[in-house]
Structure 1
Amino acid sequence: MEEVTYGLCHRVRSMCAEALTALRPGPFADAVGAVAERLAGDTLVVAVGGRLNAGKSTLVNALLGQRLAPTGGTETTLVSAWFRSYHMNRVWVHFNDGRSPASIPSRVGGGVPQSLQYDHSEVSHLVVEAANKSIDRAFALMDTPGRDAVSALDDYSMASIRKADALILAMPQPGEGDAAALREFQETMRGSRLSAANVLGVLTRIDQISEDTDLEEVRREADKVAGRSADRMTGLVAEVIPVATKLAETARCERLTEQHLYALGILAAADRDTLEDMLFDHEDFLSVAPDTVPVDPGMRKELLDLLAIYGIRQAVDAIDGGARDLSALRDALCERSGINRLLERVQQRLVTGADALRADAAMAALRTAAELAGAAEQEVAGRLRGLLRELGRHPAMRRVELAEAAQAQAAGMLPLPDQNSGQLHMLMAGVTDAQRVGLPEDASPEELRRRIGELVDEWKMLEASLPRRARLHATVVREMFEALYFSLL
């Protein structure tokens, strides 16, 4: 795992410490202290959000590699849960009124319990600790309540996501509704910097996208649907990634046993026509006589619960491809589910830019905090604003400014032709210089400079044609292209 440094965050923490030494207790000091506390740990916080029944908790478990988030319809699904590594399993309940957190037993084996002894309206969030050292190695996860789970929880969901540095948006049925949901998130959280700079979309149920029995065709169709969804959400999400969440959770959380492997091996050895008939749907899978395919009904039910028909197809295909032991099968299913691809994108797009993302969110919070300064605190507030302006000119922070341009474009405040809208999205979502300017990965430095020079000229002309407020956003884009150009000299 690539190591991430937090130089910008440390500078913001130093600003907070300096301000706090000169402030008396009060709203301004409390707000500055909250920012300092948020930056105390060097870990990017990634929220998983989305609509009701979007498969968020299943996705969280797959990302954690352990079943810690509740996946049933329990009262604890109405409360945000943060996950972190500890030497024992326990859960801390944090309250809205500021009282000391209460420790409660975790679920057997670790994780969020099925019920709370407190009214959920009293609870700010849960912190779930588990004996799993890999949980927060690169980033910390937060599971949030489903939007519209209960109408009164919408504000709670928004407040939970505001505390995160980045968002994974779970989308079971991609379309305009998801784009509208993300715009609603943005509208509610003005100043939160939600954009393609720090948002990834996930199609959580790719097994329901197509009824085709050809697994490669299902994957191709899932990629097409994800691509169309990403196009509709240009500027709002960096990328939309298809993931079979049930399969991912089963594989990553090591739920398959040797007994399951043995049963899957029997299925893989069965007559192909018989197997296809069995895998037509759940009822057929359970009803085929055991003397035809010697896997007893109880084991078949377990396989359905763990993998569903799509996952059983993938497992049989993986065994046919040579995955004969449990470790090899788990590895193959992680790859086939799409969870490996998602983890890779989280690392590339979010974790490697964590310092700037977290510093930007903290700086925005400090600007808001400075507005709370009383008459006797204006000198401290002024000095803090000056330090923030200086840090805002750091090269790493310029990329974060693109988030405002993307938000303006998505909201219709930055009118762009489709071609320029795509260029802005590539600049934000690209991981390499070639991706940021729409060239193949093997493009030479000369080709990169030539293309970037063309883009600089194009955006200069665009700036001149835009209204003044929109022109400011276009200037940021043009200057980013210029910075890329000079970095290649």
Structure 2
Amino acid sequence: MTAQAQQLAGPLSAAVANLCAGLRPQVSPNTAAGFREVLRRLSAPLQVAVAGRIKSGKSTLVNALIGRRVAPTDVGECTRLVTRFQYGTVDRIEVVFTDGRKQVLPFDANGAIPADLGVDVGAVSHIEAYLTNAVLRDLTVIDTPGLGSLDAASVARTEALLGGELDPVSRNAVAGAEAVLYVVTQGVRNDDHQALAAFTAATAGREAGPVNAIAVLNKADTIAAETVEGSDGDTWKAAVLLAERQAHTLKPRVADVIPVIGLVAESAETGGFTSADADALRKLAELDDATRETMLISADLFVTWECDVPVGVRTRLLEKLDLYGIRCALTALDAEPAITAGALRRRLLDSSGLDGVRGKLNAVFRSRADGIKAAAALASITALAGASGDPNERQRVHDAIEVLLAKPEAHQLRLLEALTLVASGAVAMPADLAEEVLRFGTSPDVAEQLGLRGRPHPELVAHALERAGWWRSFASFGATPAQSRVAHVVHRAYFLIWQQLRGRR
């Protein structure tokens, strides 16, 4: 194993790194240079691109995930640029120009990227933001321009992003992404499938699927609960139900859709919610019920209705929490009048749904970072060899990859490949079988992979063995050649689960 491979996150990435290093002397200089970039990315943290339409709250969510209000959320020049947030030993900003030049800038007085960069934005490729936040040690977050911008310059920038016409420096900034967090609001449009597919094709060159993509239903507090059947008038329950329906609409492009209130999450997690805000909410909680209910009817009434809390203070609360967050805080104060400002912030964070997003990020991305990075690297290696124009080089790379994938320890890579083939439609499967295959990508939990969440252990064991046998028969007798390749992988996945469950007895 090379010294570089020893620094990698897991054994699959190390195996691909060794393959890449071994092939470099056997390929053309151009392909070898590409392999060096693959090796660099393999040793970097998992890179997740946050994508979505304009005004979907992408940057607000990025701030919440990082735990610092650093990404610009107002309409401005920075929101039209790709920004990579990564770990660094010193907080700094690097403005990267399309010709490769870099200009180092400090963060502004509030610790955010300056609203005015003081440079010609038209000549800027992207922004590299280095932060000492521990969350970025194993996760680089890429904030992208909003899709569907009405601004002509942003439209051109987004079309270039999706169309693959970026200059090499810009393409490198985006193409490092190995996974995508896709932000939607209440209405999933018919073309969100295409937008998500196009975006991921412009990143790591791999289709979005349950292995490398999840979606977030942001601004969940704006959902009119009465319009969602089964919500019983509860806004959050309505958001959960709507997210489930959107997950069905967006499958198999995403593993799941998770509801979140990005504004409340950002304020609670980045220090935006202060003890002064808690004191103001205490005064509001002391108002008589009729006054409170009247003020909470609308944002205008909340600000203009006469009460002892100054208008400016109420305006600030609205900007930080909106009416839903204010209601949640008042409910917490009614239940526990002596609650501390810190505990109240925690209640607000709980009500935002951010923990659910983080949990899904951990389950889908972080726990599989080794496999995701290794699979993306193999895709890049294959693409590099294919672009060389040398059939002998293509065959040499193909043979080396097949040798790697034939090893028992590379089963996870085979499974990720099968999931991608089925999710993208490259291998057509009956709907019920496709759904069964894709379950392996939605969660690392064995019971969920089997579709038997909450069922007793003996039932899981029996089901895993039964399905292993069924898929082996299907691979041999009922499948097309392409389906058979997927079926053999699924058979082995079930068999390994059966072995694992038997060992727990």
> What does residue range 94-243 of structure 1 map to in structure 2 within 5 Å?
94-97=96-99, 99-130=100-131, 132-149=132-149, 150-158=154-162, 159=171, 161-177=174-190, 178-185=192-199, 191-210=205-224, 217-243=234-260
Q: Kindly tell me: are residues 392 and 174 of structure 1, through their superposed partners in 2, closer, same or farther at Cα, counting changes over 3 Å?
A: farther
| Aligned partners of 2:215 and 2:256 also within 8 Å | yes
> Unaligned stretches of 5+ in structure 1?
none
| 8 Å Cα contact 2:212-2:372 kept in structure 1 | yes
Aligned to 1:40: 43
Deviates more, 1:428-437 or 1:353-362: 428-437
**Secondary structure class of the residue paired with 1:48:** strand
Residue pair 1:195, 1:236 contacting (<8 A) in 2 also: yes
Q: Which residue of 2 aligns with 1:399?
A: 415
In structure 1, what is the Cα distance between the partners aligned to 2:346 and 2:40?
38
Counterparts in 2 of 1:68 and 1:455: CA distance versus 1, 3 Å: same
| Structure 1 position 181, deviation (Å) | 2.5
Matched, 1:424 2:437: yes
The answer to whether the Cα contact below 8 Å between 1:61 and 1:67 also exists between their aligned partners in 2 is yes
State the alpha-carbon separation in 1 of the partners of residues 303 and 185 from structure 2.
Answer: 26
The correspondence for 2:78, drawn from 65, 76, 79, is 76
Distance 1:415 1:15 in 2: 32
Q: Tell which deviates more after alignment, 258-267 or 434-443.
A: 434-443
Q: How far apart in 2 are the matches of 1:368 and 1:276?
A: 60
| Aligned equivalents of 1:263, 1:75: Cα separation in 2 | 34
Query: Which residue number in structure 1 is paired with residue 401 of structure 2?
Result: 388
CA distance in 1, matches of 2:202, 2:138: 28
What is the correspondence of 1:407-486 to structure 2 with a 5 Å cutoff?
407-409=423-425, 414-417=428-431, 419-441=432-454, 443-444=456-457, 446-459=458-471, 464-486=477-499
Deviations 1:248-303, CA, capped at 9 Å, x for gaps: 0000101111111111111222222321111011111012212xxx2111100110
- SS class of match (1:352): helix
For 1:14, the equivalent position in structure 2 comes to: 18
Tell me, what secondary structure is at the counterpart of 2:234?
helix
The aligned amino acid for 1:122 is A
Tell me, in whole angstroms, the C-alpha distance in 2 between the residues paired with 1:343 and 1:190. Answer: 22
Q: Distance in 2 between matches of 1:117 and 1:470?
A: 55
Matched, 1:340 2:355: yes
Q: Which moved more, 1:359-368 or 1:390-399?
A: 390-399
Deviates more, 1:162-171 or 1:391-400: 391-400
- In structure 2, the residue matched to 1:358 is 373
- The secondary structure found in structure 2 opposite 1:259 is helix
- After TM superposition, the structure 1 = structure 2 runs for residues 180-329 of structure 1, keeping only pairs within 5 Å, are 180-185=194-199, 191-210=205-224, 217-290=234-307, 294-322=308-336, 324-329=339-344
**Would the aligned equivalents of 1:78 and 1:145 in 2 still touch at CA under 8 Å?**
yes
Q: In the alignment, residue 340 of structure 1 is paired with which amino acid?
A: D
- Paired with 1:203 and 1:179, the residues of 2 have a C-alpha distance of 15
How far apart are 1:388 and its partner, in Å?
2.3
- Percent identical pairs in the alignment equals 28
- Confirm or deny: 8 A CA contact 1:194 1:403 kept in the other structure: no
Give distance in 1, aligned partners of 2:400 and 2:454. 38
Contact 1:254 1:330 in 2 (8 A): no
Write the letter of the residue equivalent to 2:415. Answer: R
Distance between the aligned counterparts of 2:313 and 2:384, measured in 1? 58
Map Cα deviations across residues 97-148 of structure 1 (whole Å, 9 max, x no partner). Answer: 3x34221232333332213344444333211123x33241331111011112
Query: What is the root-mean-square deviation of aligned Cα atoms in Å?
Result: 2.9
Among 13, 23, 30, which residue is 2:33 paired with?
30
Change (3 A) 1:204 1:278: same
User: Quick check: 1:147–1:153 contact (8 Å CA) kept in 2?
Assistant: no
Tell me: CA distance 1:340–1:351, structure 2 relative to 1, closer, same or farther (3 Å): same
**Distance (Å, rounded) in 2 between the aligned partners of 1:306 and 1:10:** 45
Structure 2: runs of 5 or more not aligned: 1-7, 163-170
Q: For 1:61 and 1:118, how far apart are their aligned partners in 2?
A: 24
**Greater CA drift, 268-277 or 253-262:** 268-277
Change (3 A) 1:193 1:211: closer
2:168 is aligned to none
1:88 positional shift: 3.6
- 1:343-369 Cα deviation digits (max 9, x unpaired): 111112110100010011111111122
